[in-house]
Amino acid sequence: MIPTADRSKGTVTVRIALDQKDPRILPEMGVRVSFLADQTQEPGGKPAGGVILPSNAVQGSGATGTVFVVHGDTVERRAVRLGAGTGESTTILSGLGAGERVAVGDFTLLKDGAKVRVEQ
In this structure, are strands 89-94 and 51-54 parallel, antiparallel, or unpaired? antiparallel
For the entire predicted model, the pTM comes to 0.57
Give the pLDDT confidence score for residue 3 in this predicted structure: 62
Rounded CA-CA distance 110/113 in Å is: 8
Q: Is residue 63 scored above 50 in pLDDT?
A: yes
| Nearest one of 101, 96, 91, 95 to 54, comparing CA atoms | 91
Q: What domains lie within the chain, and their CATH numbers?
A: 49-120 (2.40.420.20)
* pLDDT tens per residue across span 10-57: 777 777 777 888 888 888 887 776 665 544 444 444 445 678 888 888
Section 103-107 average pLDDT: 84
Rounded CA-CA distance 59/65 in Å is: 5
Q: Is residue 97 scored above 70 in pLDDT?
A: yes
Give the pLDDT confidence score for residue 68 in this predicted structure: 92
Give the pLDDT confidence score for residue 40 in this predicted structure: 44
